Structure 1
Amino acid sequence: MENRKVWFVTGASKGLGLALVQKLLTHGYSVAATSRSVDDLKNAVKHSEGQFLPLAVTLTDGQSVGKAIAATVAEFGRIDVIVNNAGYGLAGSLEELSDEEAKGNFDVNVFGTLNVIRAVMPYLREQRSGHIMNVSSIAGFTGTFPGFGIYCATKFAVTGLSESLAAETASFGVKVTIVEPGYFRTEFLKAGSFVTPKNEIADYKEVRESQALHEQQINGQQPGDPEKAADAMIRIAGEANPPLHLLLGSDAFGLAQSKIASLTDELETWKEVSISTDFGA
């Protein structure tokens, strides 16, 4: 039965991760969920039955992640659906963000995801089954957001590694889906999930306007419903042939269509130059 699948969800104490965990538990799934604070996780989820395993995990620490995966298998006997949801937003132009700020975003958004993949793949290879959902973003599909270059870079990295992962793991029966949400009404644009630059450069008018737009206008008015996003992810996990790319939200869908149309036009416009570089052309 579908609800016998064991789920492992990172970043589960708030936002989309919390909505997903609560819905999974309501449907009777066994769920291991992670957060930096196990108390925050317990208080947010409010579920004490044996089907819920709350775990305090530092995603940037490979040993911490490995112990969490092992604990999940020890508790439930297997692991089936892995949702790499943990991450945070970072605003700031490429010029004004420091190495520390940029690397910090990559450490959580990219290397945290990699740590989970490395830890869980031995179990999935042995089972010859499993489904890894890596939560990227529409900002991992199109990068035309001033002031979000590093964040976009982390999400493009997640998208790229996920496409390769899908090709690497298909023969093991392991499926991969890249979840690419638009704006969802969560805490993502609030302090703690959204970081702004320590040293702003006033000349970047478009960046400051974009930053203010996200913090003051978009925050709290996002069109996406996290409960419906959770429903969509649960549905996809039950599909025999799930999509590699799952866009969530009408805004994400529209932005993706615009990017594809723009890229198609650009390819045709510069086709002659592109193909002129082959030997014998």
Structure 2
Amino acid sequence: MSDILNWFSNAGQDVWQWVGETNPDTWAAAAGWTTAGIAFIASIAAFKQVRVARAVREEQAQPYVVAFMEPSQADQQIIEFAVKNFGTTAAYDVRMECDRPLSRTSSDGGLGSEPVGLFDTIPVLVPGQEWRIFWDSGIERKSAGLPDRHEVTVFYDDSHGKKMKPTKAILDWSVYKSRMWVDTYGQHHSAKALREISSLMKSWKEFGGGVRVYVRDGDAKDEARRMPPGGKRRLKEVNDRVLGRQGPQNTDGSASSGNDVLEESGGAANSTESE
């Protein structure tokens, strides 16, 4: 332990002696070299930052084309296949490869399948633009026995003709087989409701123009609903008697007299007889 303390003591004395013997010119030169070293290190750091910023700008200012599948806005059971440019610049010469052909259930109601019509090449796809097509209905595909998993790779170039890194997508129907969703009504449903209203209004039109109007006597119908059991029959009998119709038959086959009908009908019959 004492040897270590002696070594530090001797080293401190040597340093102090060197500082005392060093002239001001040497210190000025050392300060200049130190400043140059710091400036060199700062320039290296700035150069790296410039390269990173340039790479970020280039990545942001490039197309980004992806293939995907999603439910249709018209019906959640309908799945559409789409290719969209999510980037900020246009994509050129867009091509696509699939590990297996995309197919859908037969459109004529049969048990077979039919291929999904895909493009060969899209000359240009501007930012936000997409290509979309009906793929299949989840209800019909569930029991069709068609493959679920598809791997799609999209190839494209940027505005300078540089080939971009291909984007790969995994499209899996099994994700949609057991899903649940909440119906959201939008513009499509509003247009559908307006078409239904228009069709209904056309069915109400009379020949030569105009609209048929149905009138309901609500008070009379409500009063009839409030009558006790048998009241409607007695009221009909009274009305038939007053209007000169044949009255109801008794159990022995003879017609009931007006007095019998009036007595059975109670207050309503008395009122009619007074008149």
TM-score, normalisation: structure 2: 0.21
Q: Which has the higher contact order (CA 8 A, sep 6+)?
A: 1
Larger Rg, first or second structure (1 or 2): 2
Relative to total residues, which structure has the larger strand share, 1 or 2? 2
TM-score, normalisation: structure 1: 0.21
Relative to total residues, which structure has the larger helix share, 1 or 2? 1
